[in-house]
Amino acid sequence: MTARYWRRQNRLARMSFGFFLLFGFLSLVFYMAATNLKDQPLGQVFGSAQIYAFASTVIALGTHVLQSVSWWRRSGAPLPAPTSAQITTAKDVLAGLVAQQWRDETALRSLADPEPMPLAWRSTERRELADRSEIIAEGTVAFSGLDVHIEAMVRNFRALRCRRLVILGGPGTGKTTLAVQLVLELLRTREPDEPVPVLLSAARWDDRAHPRLQDWLAASLAMDYPALRAAELGTDIPETLVARGDILPVVDGLDELPDNTRADLLAALNRSMCGNDQLILTCRTEQFAESVEEIGDVLTAAAVIEPQPMGPEVAADYLQACLPPVPHPAWPAVTQALRTGAAPALAEVASTSLGLWLVRATYIAPRVDPSPLLRYAHGSAAELQDHLCDQLIPALVSTRTPADGPVQPFRPRHAWTPEQVGRWLTYVCRQLTASEDDTRDMAWWHLAGRIPNLTVRLWCGVGIGVVTGLVFFQLTDGMVLVGVVTGLLAAFVVIVMTGSWFTEVPGHAELQWRGRLAELGRVLMAGLIIGLVGAILGWLVGWHFGNYAAAWHTARNIGLLSGIGFVIVFGLIRWVEHPTVTATARSPRSTWRADRTLTVIRMLSGIVVGLMAGLIAREARLPTPVAIVGGLVLGLLFGLVVGRHHAWLAYNLTVPRLAAKGSLPMRAMDFLDDAHRLGLLRTEGPYYQFRHIELQQHLTRELQEKGADKAFEPVPPL
């Protein structure tokens, strides 16, 4: 097991011990109150509360002991290594998930519609950026710069001695596009003994937390592809695949890191790789050259390629092929000016794949008058690109309207105005710019973690405390003390327990039975043991009241509540948090839904335990409404706070605050999903990223020019 796993187990053990102390204190208080008020109606209330608190104390103590014993046994006992069959299965599962993920992205980006962009790649002529040719490959490095298909690029890559490749180029030259195409072709032609290519953003690598590439790669696999954690695949499959060299990391966007961090990561790559470790890396040329100069070394044994600038005639031919059969009358003048060199700014922008895509998205797809391209053609390329970025959001919103019939994968599901889309994406830029660790990846649970949460926690605690107090006040026929005590207790639990919600990552539940009955049997056995311990302690408590009938009655109630409560709330919740090989790749929407499902399961489990506790309290001669409703309220509250994943709850507490400020809509997930369908965002595992860093930079510049306060004035809702 990893050190991170053991740290998490220690944290869980400390939390369960804290619950034991809290509920133990409450059971003592309720016991003293019940003893002093034994002959009064209020004494019955405190007596029932004592049973609840005592059972919770037993559950918390049993959980702490079981976790401590489990940690002690596993820390000293060697874990079985995965078998060859399990490793082969894991590789096939991962290959399928990666292919599914990036095929969708390829279709969304129209990379082959009507044909791939005619961009050729060649070995770099800057010899200071590449290792010696005899180390890179036997004979001549086979990247000639000719217009070859991706199949030939993959053959050239496989011919390299260590299969290491650095893809360089300027802004918008198609580095990421080539990386995605290489991933898909490597997967399509992969032999069983070859590694599985996995594309990851360099911005996610923190070399302080993961000094070695392998450590970061294993952690990323576990997060992005939870199917690899399935019990039937064996123990520590992500770590095993990485250690065996069965993963080909495709690290995209080294240039997006700060200067010193970029150089450190390049040095870390050289320290991490040995033998035949494979790698594909993308970076802008100048940033890569600066990092190489800073560390005084190149990426060992890696071929380095750069794109050849696209000539005006080639770019004009591509745009001509994208035009409809009857284009706007101004298009012949635009393409002619591009061919003859009469539009220098347009020629410079169209020399990159990004520039061609911007022209196509803003003027060809909407079928609007392209004459502004000629007006900007004699200015600077930067001004023309800013103009295209300004037109991009309105153009995509107008051309990709919501589908009237069945949902289509590349059309939005909801109607948004260009002003709303631009404003809300600007807020995303603002959050990414403020992030110290990662300026590219935006996850839906990050929304809760990047703004203060103490105020909302206090209000939630006060609201739940007031509701709980009023319920018990009404149920006990106006007993103020009962309402105040239960309200304060509920508020305290909510305020304290919700502190970690806003930094927790999402979880998911798996309810498959096959292959997991032994694990379920261990949960039931642990519940039986805890129930027996609760019964013994309950008998001792009942014996204190002076008769055998009370002792056996208390022993039965506390034993049942402890054992069944542990099984339902703690055992089953932990049991369902395991993925299987049938799980799909984590997308933002799937992780959001999965965490929501897990929350519902916890709430239902708490309600079941609360109902059982209410029935026991009814036997203790409490009025039926007091027992049943009180148990359900407390059970629901308990079901909300237990567990390790509350990202969906934190998201729902955060989004209304952002919507009130106009920063995001109430349907924030729907908007982010539609921005992806519009082609403005892309997904990498559970994260959203701007499809083009240039658009993110453009929106960031606008934000800085306008000022944050002015940029976030309210926008009228739809």
Q: How confident is the model at residue 397 (pLDDT cuts 50, 70, 90)?
A: very high
Average pLDDT over residues 146-170: 84
Q: How many CA atoms lie within 13 A of 556 on its CB side?
A: 10
Identify the burial level of 320 via C-beta atoms within 10 angstroms of its C-beta, where 0-12 means exposed, 13-18 middle and 19 or more buried.
middle
Q: How confident is the model at residue 83 (pLDDT cuts 50, 70, 90)?
A: confident
pLDDT for position 566: 63
Q: How confident is the model at residue 489 (pLDDT cuts 50, 70, 90)?
A: confident
pLDDT at 345 over 80: yes
Find out whether 260 and 287 touch, Cβ atoms under 8 Å: no
Say how many C-beta atoms besides its own lie within 10 A of residue 339's C-beta.
Answer: 18
pLDDT at 305 over 50: yes
First to last CA, the chain: 50
Q: Which of 338, 315, 328 is nearest to 370 (CA)?
A: 328
Q: How confident is the model at residue 517 (pLDDT cuts 50, 70, 90)?
A: low
Find out whether 217 and 247 touch, Cβ atoms under 8 Å: yes
Find out whether 201 and 441 touch, Cβ atoms under 8 Å: yes
Q: How confident is the model at residue 582 (pLDDT cuts 50, 70, 90)?
A: very low
Find out whether 444 and 586 touch, Cβ atoms under 8 Å: no
Identify the burial level of 311 via C-beta atoms within 10 angstroms of its C-beta, where 0-12 means exposed, 13-18 middle and 19 or more buried.
middle
CA angle 300/302/308 to nearest 5° reads: 140
Q: Tell me the per-residue pLDDT of 558-569, one tens digit each, with 9 for 90 and over.
A: 666 666 666 665
Average pLDDT, the chain: 78
What residues contact 536, with CB distance under 8 A and at least 6 apart?
555
Q: How far apart (Å, rounded) are the C-alpha atoms in residues 568 and 575? A: 10
Which tokens is 32 given? Answer: 């003293």
pLDDT for position 229: 76
More confident of the two residues 442 and 37: 442
Q: How confident is the model at residue 186 (pLDDT cuts 50, 70, 90)?
A: very high
pLDDT for position 30: 58
pLDDT for position 333: 93
pLDDT for position 181: 87
Fold annotation for 418-445+651-711: Arc Repressor Mutant, subunit A (1.10.10)
pLDDT at 442 over 90: no
Q: Tell me the per-residue pLDDT of 5-17, one tens digit each, with 9 for 90 and over.
A: 444 445 555 555 5
pLDDT at 37 over 60: no
pLDDT for position 636: 78
Q: How far apart (Å, rounded) are the C-alpha atoms in residues 189 and 203? A: 29
Average pLDDT over residues 471-499: 77
Determine which of 417-421, 495-499, 630-634, 713-717 has the lowest per-residue pLDDT on average.
Answer: 713-717
What is the DSSP pairing of strand 196-201 with strand 681-684? Answer: unpaired
Task: Delimit the CATH 1.10.10 region(s) of the chain.
Answer: 418-445+651-711
Find out whether 44 and 620 touch, Cβ atoms under 8 Å: yes
Find out whether 546 and 595 touch, Cβ atoms under 8 Å: no
Q: How confident is the model at residue 336 (pLDDT cuts 50, 70, 90)?
A: very high
Alpha-carbon distances of 513 from 225, 232, 303, 519, rounded to whole Å? 21, 12, 49, 10
- Positive or negative: CA dihedral 50, 51, 52, 57: positive
Determine which of 90-104, 232-246, 256-270, 527-541 has the lowest per-residue pLDDT on average.
Answer: 527-541
More confident of the two residues 1 and 14: 14
Q: Tell me the per-residue pLDDT of 400-420, one tens digit each, with 9 for 90 and over.
A: 888 776 666 668 888 999 999
Q: Which CATH number fits domain 85-307: 3.30.2030, 3.30.450, 3.40.50, 2.60.40?
A: 3.40.50
Indicate the SS3 state at residue 394: helix
Average pLDDT over residues 436-446: 79
Determine which of 68-82, 246-260, 399-413, 420-434 has the lowest per-residue pLDDT on average.
Answer: 68-82
Peptide bond into 325 cis (omega under 30): no
Q: Tell me the per-residue pLDDT of 51-70, one tens digit each, with 9 for 90 and over.
A: 556 566 666 666 666 556 65
Q: How far apart (Å, rounded) are the C-alpha atoms in residues 24 and 56? A: 8
- Per-residue b/e over 171-185, b at no fewer than 16 CB within 10 Å? ebbbbbbbbbbbbbb
Which tokens is 503 given? Answer: 């930094």
Q: Tell me the per-residue pLDDT of 358-375, one tens digit each, with 9 for 90 and over.
A: 999 899 989 999 999 999
More confident of the two residues 666 and 641: 666
Determine which of 22-26, 141-145, 188-192, 666-670 has the lowest per-residue pLDDT on average.
Answer: 22-26
Tell me the H-state helices in 400-516. Answer: 418-434, 446-449, 454-475, 480-497
pLDDT at 380 over 70: yes
Determine which of 74-88, 272-286, 590-604, 701-715 has the lowest per-residue pLDDT on average.
Answer: 701-715
H helix or E strand, kind and range, residue 52: helix 41-76
Q: How far apart (Å, rounded) are the C-alpha atoms in residues 668 and 425? A: 11
pLDDT at 392 over 70: yes
More confident of the two residues 283 and 411: 283
Q: How confident is the model at residue 436 (pLDDT cuts 50, 70, 90)?
A: low
The neighbouring-strand residues paired with 307 are 121
Task: Delimit the CATH 3.40.50 region(s) of the chain.
Answer: 85-307
pTM score:
0.70
Q: How far apart (Å, rounded) are the C-alpha atoms in residues 607 and 489? A: 18
Determine which of 8-22, 219-233, 511-525, 606-620 has the lowest per-residue pLDDT on average.
Answer: 8-22
Long-range contacts: 393-398, Cβ < 8 Å, 24+? Answer: 393/418, 393/421, 393/422, 393/425, 393/680, 394/418, 395/361, 395/362, 395/363, 395/365, 395/366, 395/368, 396/361, 396/678, 396/679, 396/680, 397/421, 397/678, 398/366
Q: How confident is the model at residue 579 (pLDDT cuts 50, 70, 90)?
A: very low
Q: Tell me the per-residue pLDDT of 115-136, one tens digit each, with 9 for 90 and over.
A: 566 677 888 888 899 888 888 8
Average pLDDT over residues 278-295: 93
The neighbouring-strand residues paired with 3 are none
CA angle 623/639/523 to nearest 5° reads: 105
What residues contact 703, with CB distance under 8 A and at least 6 apart?
426, 429, 430, 433, 711
Would you tell me the crossing angle of helices 41-76 and 588-619 to the nearest 10 degrees? 130
pLDDT for position 234: 74
pLDDT for position 310: 80
pLDDT at 277 over 50: yes
Residue-wise DSSP of 520-586: HHHHHHHHHHHHHHHHHHHHHHHHTTT-HHHHHHHHHHHHHHHHHHIIIIIIHHHHH----TTPPPP
Q: How far apart (Å, rounded) are the C-alpha atoms in residues 508 and 61? A: 26
Q: Which of 305, 308, 309, 353 is nearest to 157 (CA)?
A: 305
pLDDT for position 291: 92
Which tokens is 176 given? Answer: 């990421």
